[in-house]
Chain A
Amino acid sequence: MPELDEGEKAVCPRCVGVLFTRGRNSLHRTAACAMASAVLFVVANSFPFLTLRAGFRESQMLLWQSATGLAAEGYPYLAAAVSVLIVGAPALLIGGLLYVVMPLLWERRLPGAIPLCRWVLHARRWNMMEVFLLGVLVSLLKLGSLATLMLGTSFWAFLALIICLTAALASIHPRELWEHIDQAHR
Chain B
Amino acid sequence: MRELPNEFAAARGLAVCHVCGLASPVSAGQCPRCRAGIHLRNRESLQRTWAFTIASVLLYFPANLLPILRVESIAGPQSSTIISGVIQFWHEEDYPVAIIIFVASVMIPILKIIAIVCLCLAAGAGWRPRGMTRLYRVTEFVGRWSMVDVFVVAILVGVVQLGSTISIHPGAGAVSFAAVVVLTMFAAMSFDPRLIWDAAAARAQPAHQD
Measuring CB to CB, which residues of chain A are less than 8 angstroms from any residue of chain B? 1, 14-17, 19-20, 50, 52, 54-55, 57, 59, 61, 65-70, 73, 75, 77-78, 81-82, 85-86, 114-115, 117-118, 121, 125, 128, 131-132, 134-136, 138-139, 141-143, 145-147, 149, 174-175, 178, 181-182
What residues of A have a CB within 8 angstroms of the CB of B94 in the complex? 141
- Report yes or no: B100 in contact with A118, Cβ–Cβ below 8 A: no
> Which residues in window 110-131 of B have CB below 8 A to A?
129-130
- Report yes or no: B144 in contact with A59, Cβ–Cβ below 8 A: no
Whole-angstrom CA separation of A81 from B178 in the bound complex: 8
- Report yes or no: B156 in contact with A142, Cβ–Cβ below 8 A: yes
The minimal Cβ–Cβ distance linking B180 to chain A, given in whole angstroms, is: 12
- What is the chain B residue whose CB lies nearest that of A84? B182
- Report yes or no: B156 in contact with A65, Cβ–Cβ below 8 A: no
Secondary structure type dominating chain B contacts: helix
Q: A50-B155, A135-B150 are in contact. List 11 more A-B contacts (CB 8 A).
A: A14-B129, A52-B164, A59-B159, A59-B163, A67-B154, A67-B158, A82-B151, A114-B33, A143-B159, A147-B164, A178-B34
- Report yes or no: A65 in contact with B129, Cβ–Cβ below 8 A: no
- Report yes or no: B148 in contact with A52, Cβ–Cβ below 8 A: no
Of B20, B22, B100, B151, the most chain A CB neighbours within 10 A belong to B151
What residues of B have a CB within 8 angstroms of the CB of A20 in the complex? 21
- Report yes or no: A54 in contact with B166, Cβ–Cβ below 8 A: yes
Task: List 22 contacting pairs A-B, 8 Å CB cutoff, sorted by A.
Answer: A17-B133, A50-B155, A59-B160, A61-B159, A66-B155, A66-B157, A69-B154, A70-B157, A73-B157, A77-B175, A121-B19, A125-B189, A134-B145, A134-B148, A134-B151, A135-B151, A139-B152, A142-B85, A146-B71, A146-B73, A147-B160, A178-B20
Q: Judge if B209 is at the interface, Cβ distance under 8 Å.
A: no
Whole-angstrom CA separation of A181 from B178 in the bound complex: 36
Q: Judge if B174 is at the interface, Cβ distance under 8 Å.
A: yes
Q: Judge if B59 is at the interface, Cβ distance under 8 Å.
A: no
Q: Inter-chain contact count A-B, CB under 8 Å?
A: 153
What residues of A have a CB within 8 angstroms of the CB of B157 in the complex? 66, 69-70, 73
- Report yes or no: A146 in contact with B166, Cβ–Cβ below 8 A: yes
What residues of A have a CB within 8 angstroms of the CB of B104 in the complex? 134
- Report yes or no: A59 in contact with B164, Cβ–Cβ below 8 A: yes
Q: Judge if B48 is at the interface, Cβ distance under 8 Å.
A: no
- Report yes or no: B175 in contact with A61, Cβ–Cβ below 8 A: no
Known contacts A15-B193, A131-B151, A178-B21, A138 near B100 by CB under 8 Å: yes
- Report yes or no: A138 in contact with B97, Cβ–Cβ below 8 A: yes
- Report yes or no: A57 in contact with B154, Cβ–Cβ below 8 A: no
Whole-angstrom CA separation of A64 from B85 in the bound complex: 25
What residues of A have a CB within 8 angstroms of the CB of B89 in the complex? 141-142
In the complex, the 10 A-B pairs of residues with the closest C-beta atoms, listed nearest first: A135-B151, A69-B158, A66-B158, A178-B20, A66-B154, A61-B159, A15-B133, A69-B157, A139-B155, A175-B21
- What is the chain B residue whose CB lies nearest that of A55? B165
What residues of B have a CB within 8 angstroms of the CB of A65 in the complex? 158
Whole-angstrom CA separation of A88 from B53 in the bound complex: 26
- What is the chain B residue whose CB lies nearest that of A115? B35
Whole-angstrom CA separation of A77 from B155 in the bound complex: 16
- Report yes or no: A52 in contact with B144, Cβ–Cβ below 8 A: no
Known contacts A14-B197, A178-B34, A59 near B161 by CB under 8 Å: yes
Q: Judge if B62 is at the interface, Cβ distance under 8 Å.
A: no
- Report yes or no: B178 in contact with A78, Cβ–Cβ below 8 A: yes
